[in-house]
Amino acid sequence: MRWDPGQYQRYGDERSRPFVELLDRIDVARGVNATDPSYVVDLGCGPGNLTRSLSHRWPTAETLGVDSSTDMVAAAREHAIEGRLEFAVGDLAVWQAARPVDVLVANAALHWVPHHVDLIAGFADTLAPGGVFAFQVPDNFTEPSHTLLRDLRRSPRWRDRIGADADRGAGVERPETYLRALVDAGLAPDVWQSEYLHVLVGANAVLEWVKGTALRPVLSLLTDDAERDEFLESYAAQLRTAYPEQDFGTVFPFRRTFAVGRKS
C-alpha cells in the first residue's frame, strides 16, 4: 500500500491534536519528579512532523521515528536532526528496540497491524524502568465514512476488484480491552476516549480526509484512472449526503481511544 504524505497532511492540524493530548498524559504518567528521557521512539511516525515535536519536547533525548512506508520515511527525513532525531523504515509487527525505551509512542498506527493487542506485552518489555508506552487509535469504523466505504467495496460493481479486507473495524478493540492488555503487561493504565467534531473546509472535505488514510488500500489497487474516478465519484456523492456541507464547513465527528501505560 502506498502512502501520500502530502494528502495525509491536508488536515494536519486536526490530525495532530490527538497527538498533543496524548503527550500531555505522558507527562502525567511519568510524574513530576521524572528525569528527562534519554531514548524516545515514535512507531508509525508518518511524515515526521509530530516526531520532531517529540525531539523539541525532550531536547536531550535521542529520538527515533519508525514507519513501514518508504514514502513517509523519505518525507520524515527532512525533519532529521543529526545526533538527535533519526528515521527508519520498519514493520511495527516485528520491531524490536535497540535499547530500553523511556517513551514509546504509537499515534494512529497500531490499528493498521492485525492482532496489534498481542504486541502490547512486547512493547512493555522494551520500556526502561519508569518508561511509558502511549498510543491512540481511531474508533470511528461504525461511522458513515467507513461503513459507506465498506459497503461500496463489497457492492457487485467492486467486490471482485477491491472487496477483500473491506471491514477494518474488526481490528480495533474496545477501550477496556486495551486497559486489560496494559495491566496484563505490567503497566499502570490510563485509558480514555474523546470524540472530536472536526470542521473541515473545502469541497468534498470528508473524501479528502479519507484519501489520506482509509482510502489508501483502495487507491493502491485502483491503478486505472477511469476506475478510480468512477469509484471516487460514487463514494463522494454518498459522503456528501452523510456529511452535508454547511455555511461554515463540514462537520466530521471522529472518536478516538487513548491509552497510556507506565512501567513501575
Q: What is the pLDDT of residues 160-201, one digit of tens each?
A: 999 888 777 667 899 999 999 999 999 999 999 999 999 999
| Residue 181 burial (CB count, 10 A) | 23
CA–CA gap between residue 145 and residue 14 (Å, rounded): 16
The pLDDT score that the predictor gives to residue 33 is 74
Q: Which residue has the higher pLDDT, 225 or 6?
A: 225
The answer, yes or no, to whether residue 119 has pLDDT greater than 90, is yes
Closest CA to 244 of 187, 203, 208: 203
Task: Confirm if 131 and 262 have CB atoms less than 8 A apart.
Answer: yes
Q: How many domains are contained in the chain?
A: 1
**Phi then psi for 86, rounded to 5 degrees?**
-130, 160
- Among residues of the chain, what percentage have pLDDT more than 70? 98
121-147 CB burial, b ≥16 within 10 A, e <16: eebbebbbebbbbbbbbbbbbebbbbe
- What are the angstrom distances between the C-alpha of 199 and each of 11, 23, 202, 232, 256? 10, 23, 10, 21, 16
> Strand runs (DSSP E) across 182-243, as ranges?
187-200
Q: Which residues is 194 bridged to in the sheet?
A: 256
Least confident of 23-37, 118-132, 142-156: 23-37
Alpha-carbon gap, residue 30 to 152, rounded angstroms: 45
Domain encompassing residue 201: 5-263
CATH code for the domain of 20 = 3.40.50.150
- Is residue 120 classed as helix, strand or coil in its secondary structure? helix
What is the C-alpha to C-alpha distance for residues 250 and 246, in angstroms, rounded to an integer? 6
Give the sheet arrangement for strand 101-107, strand by strand. 85-89, 62-67, 39-43, 101-107, 127-138, 250-263, 187-200
